[in-house]
Amino acid sequence: MAKRSQHFSQAAGSNSSDSAPAQLSQIERLAPDPAAPIPIVVVKNRVSHAAVFRKMIDSAEGAKPGDLVAVYTKTKQLLGYGLYNSRSEMALRMLWREPELPTDERWDHKLQTAVQLRRDVLKLDGHTDTYRVVHAEADGLPGLVIDRFGDVLSAEAFSLGMYRRGTAILQRLAAQLGTKHTIVQTSPMFKAQEGFDPPTVMSEGCPSEVIVQEYGTRFKVKFAGGHKTGFFCDQRENRRKLAEFCEGKSVLDLCCYTGGFAVQAMKLGKAKEAVGVDLDEEPLKVAKDNANLNQVRVRFVQSDAFNYMRDMVAANKQFDVVVLDPPKLIRTRMEIEDGTRKHFDMNRLAMRLVKPGGLLLSCTCAGLLPDSEFMSLLCTAARQSGEETSPAQDGKGARHAARDMQIIAKSGAAPCHPVGGNNPETEYLKAAWMVFG
């Protein structure tokens, strides 16, 4: 403890220099030099969460954006170590809560633990070569997610500190998994949240796209311009489960992105027909490639989901199985009201497209929308999803008869996306399986 206190004193007397832009280059060595003083962040109160907001920080003498820092209380008690960025509201992300200085071996232990969960416990290598290897706080690495796509490890950084260490982390992880290439990119809101706009970093010779498989079905993953790390492996188990309902059925995949649900419905589920709808042209090109890879026929339509559903309602068209998996509609607390309303409107329309006795799988990846509110939203939408009956008394539109709806199951992300016991918000994906009368 004496050595830690000495570091506290040295750093506390230095001047902060975070007014200049931080270097955005990749850091080659994860472990700090044990002979050099470490920047100090002092928090106002003890913290138990991995994320520490700027208002909870008392001082940060000598700490620059992206630095690994020692975290102390105002009484000079060492709490552990984390990554700091004064430009972010989430200014500190805790990595360790022990007094020992982080070493390369301790970084390796975090990665080994994550790999063992996927390989030894979940045994994912037996049925897929694409899965999440690191799930941020749930794996003790807040601000970073890493997905495996065959021989490529693709990382999405949510913090400057993790972005700068991304290549070094991926190289150590690749040594454990036997993969060949790495990609480090930032999240869509990175500049607004972290105050920097760093470039994507790829290993030499890294392919622009790869072919992966889950349960024998092949998918193309394109890294340039894709959402998140390139492919939604969080829906892997939901795609397989949906296939169980599809034999001989008609399937509608709304907001289909690269066609995961629609292709699995045809390949694994042996559906009679499938339609995939998405507004973006580029993902639909990949979706068509995915159907061809698996020698299945899916009709893909480039359209706004709202417009397509309204057209289908007007044409009295219904499907046996409907999937609604929209992009993230609630990114910040400012968007909760508007995003919740969009979820309601989309689900009410989607419910009208389900045949009697049919299934609707409705998903949300909005972590800020609690499960209880999502379920309540779906129940309310069901009560308003029937046939139009008569003009409403308030003159604002038509009344709708209620449809009988039963929620037969609830699910979330694939188990390679674990929920951290101290960070329940890592449970972001919610899915409801509903049958309609």
How do the pLDDT tens digits run along the chain, 437 residues long?
Answer: 333 333 333 333 333 444 434 468 899 899 999 999 999 999 999 888 899 999 999 999 889 999 999 999 999 999 999 999 999 999 999 999 999 999 999 999 999 999 999 999 999 999 999 999 999 999 999 999 999 999 999 999 999 999 999 999 999 999 999 999 999 999 988 999 999 999 999 999 999 999 999 999 999 999 886 555 668 999 999 999 999 999 999 999 999 999 999 999 999 999 999 999 999 999 999 999 999 999 999 999 999 999 999 999 999 999 999 999 999 898 888 899 999 999 999 999 999 999 999 999 999 999 889 999 999 999 999 998 876 655 554 445 555 667 899 999 999 999 999 998 877 777 899 999 999 99
Determine the pLDDT at residue 12: 35
| pLDDT tens digits for range 51-81 | 999 999 999 988 999 999 999 999 999 999 9
Q: How deeply is 200 buried, as exposed, middle or buried, from its count of CB atoms within 10 A (0-12, 13-18, 19+)?
A: exposed
Contact 157, 185 (CB under 8 A): yes
57, containing H or E segment: strand 57-59
- Residue 372: count of CB within 10 angstroms of its CB: 8
Tokens coding 1? 């403890």
Give residue 262's pLDDT: 98
Asked whether the CA dihedral 410, 416, 420, 421 is positive or negative, the reply is: positive
pLDDT tens-digit map of 1-42: 333 333 333 333 333 444 434 468 899 899 999 999 999 999
Determine the pLDDT at residue 15.
Answer: 37
Find, among 261, 253, 208, the residue nearest to 232 by Cα: 261
Q: Which residues have a Cβ under 8 Å from the Cβ of 138 and sit 6 or more positions away?
A: 417, 418, 419, 420, 423, 426
Cα angle vertex 261, ends 257, 264, to 5°? 130
Q: State residue 3's pLDDT score.
A: 33
Q: What is the largest CA-CA distance in the chain?
A: 78
Query: Is 107:190 a contact under the CB 8 Å cutoff?
Result: no
pLDDT of residue 84: 97
Domain architecture of the chain: domains with CATH: 2-96 (2.30.130.10), 104-209 (3.30.750.80), 224-436 (3.40.50.150)
Secondary structure in 3-state letters for 88-141: CCCCEEEEECCCCCCCHHHHHHHHHHHHHHHHHHCCHHHCECEEEEEEHHHHCC
Long-range contacts of 125-131, Cβ-Cβ distance < 8 Å, separation of 24 or more: 127/214, 127/215, 128/212, 128/213, 128/214, 128/215, 128/233, 128/236, 129/212, 129/213, 130/212, 130/213, 130/214, 130/219, 130/221, 130/231, 130/233, 130/236, 131/233, 131/236, 131/414, 131/416
Is the pTM value of this prediction over 0.85?
yes
The mean pLDDT value of the chain amounts to 90
3-state secondary structure of 288: helix
User: In this structure, what token pair is assigned to residue 300?
Assistant: 């893909």
DSSP 3-state of 301: strand
